[in-house]
Chains A and B, each alone.
Chain A
Amino acid sequence: MKKHVLRPLWVAIFLVGSILIARVFLVPDDFGVHGDSFTYNFYRLSNVQEWKDFPAKYTSEKRCRRCHDENAGLLRESKHAKLRCQNCHGPGAGHPKEIERLSINTTRDHCLRCHQRLAYPSSQRADLPGIDGAKHKKKKECRKCHNPHHPDLEDM
């Protein structure tokens, strides 16, 4: 064969060869098809475990009740029974060991998530007791008058 054909051919073969060799070192052993479908199951298997090891921030309600049974019990008997501890008290994993105090959300805006009156037909939002946040005791935190663990207008 002529030189001008052979030269670029050797270059091409060298390039393809070096890419194939590099691939052996760069692609992890567990990368490949793990399942029925080449389209959907082509991945690095160890990534599944990496996701499983992602740290959880929220703990279980049961764990809250182990120490804070008084407030949790009061809440369960009240109109706020549906609420979860961590809705207001924030994520509790690592408490009390690593995180000594949880940051409690006591803002008006937090209460208004549910209690800002929005008269929406066909939505349960309309059935919740609501106020107009822009008018009702504008500058005060709700908990100054209403007990979040036992909200009852008659008990105030």
Chain B
Amino acid sequence: MSCSRREFLKNTMAGAVAAAMPACSVILLAPGEAKAMTDGSKLRWAFLVDTEKCVGCGLCVDACKTENEIPYDAPVSRTWVERYVITKDGETHIDSPKAGRDGFTTGEIRGEEIDPEDIDKAFFVPKLCNQCDNPPCVQVCPVGATYQTDDGVVLVDRKWCIGCGYCVMACPYGVRFFHPIHKTAEKCNFCYHRITDGKQAACVQACPFEARKMGNLRDPEDPVTKVISNERVQVLKDEYGTKPHVFYLGLDEKVR
């Protein structure tokens, strides 16, 4: 078979272009992303925490424990409130007695009395499950007992969970624990039974200061979505690539 130099170069170029085309069209859009852009789910729950408004009353933790049947005095909770006190010497004091269930009724932190004069800044940070888009806890489950619903909430199947604890170890936010009665993995599920029934989550309803809110990210008119898309919000541990969906207003760099 004869082949002129001109023909050879032409064919090589055409071949290279043909090979590159389908490759880049696959890379640009994964099937999931393409679906999200076209129709996809009409609902994606997101949480908004305004740390400027939180006063550390702990009514959210109290309500969560009651609503979700987490034994009241067991040292576990689906949500908790942390107190950060940063003193003038650069030290950061953090505590969350009883997950903040009874509020913060003393200035003492871990047995240490801090002089108000020494405080640079102090604030409260409520925490809960981030309902990640890339949940590491779901990836590691060996039996398919935890999963992501089509509205973005990560649930635990109590009948299916074997209690191996991989998910408890995998969560970078430490939101998972073992339920003292069911002996299965347990975590915040945004009060799935309430939000799917048109009610507010127990912690959102209990918060007198509107520090906790929930909304639908797919609805551009949702007031929470407007804040998340228009204001300066932050997420926890962004560098892990988990794409968390609990957004914080007024978060400090000291918050881990």
Contact = CB atoms under 8 A, between A and B. Distances in A.
Given A31-B144, A36-B35, A121 B122 contact: yes
Contacts of A119: 116, 119
A125 B193 contact: no
Given A36-B35, A54-B192, A109-B105, A120 B85 contact: yes
B56 interface: yes
Interface residues of A, number: 45
Given A36-B32, A39-B139, A124-B55, A47 B155 contact: yes
Q: Name, among B53, B149, B196, the residue most crowded by chain A CB atoms within 10 Å (CB to CB).
A: B149
Contact of B144 (A43, A118, A120): A43
A9 B148 CA distance: 41
Nearest to A133: B105
Q: Which of B31, B120, B124, B147 has the most CB of A within 10 A?
A: B147
B52 A47 contact: no
B124 A123 contact: yes
Interface string A115-133: 0101111111100100001
Interface string B148-166: 1110000101011000000
B171 to A, nearest CB: 14
Nearest to A122: B121
Majority secondary structure, A binding face: loop
A58 B52 CA distance: 26
B138 interface: yes
B234 to A, nearest CB: 16
Interface in A26-78: 31, 35-37, 39-44, 47-48, 50-58, 60
A12 interface: no
Nearest to A32: B144
B206 A122 contact: no
Contacts of A58: 63, 66-67, 202, 205-206
B57 interface: yes
Interface in A80-110: 82-84, 86-87, 90-91, 109
Interface in B80-126: 85, 102-107, 116, 119-124
A113 interface: yes
A117 B120 CA distance: 17
Contacts of A16: none
A18 B120 CA distance: 67
6 contacts: A35-B148, A91-B63, A91-B67, A116-B103, A121-B122, A122-B122
Counting from the closest, the 9 A-B pairs by CB-CB distance are A113-B103, A43-B147, A120-B122, A54-B193, A125-B55, A113-B57, A82-B208, A47-B157, A40-B148
Interface of B: 31-32, 35, 52-59, 63, 66-68, 85, 102-107, 116, 119-124, 135, 138-139, 144-150, 155, 157, 159-160, 189, 192-194, 196-197, 199, 202, 205-206, 208-209
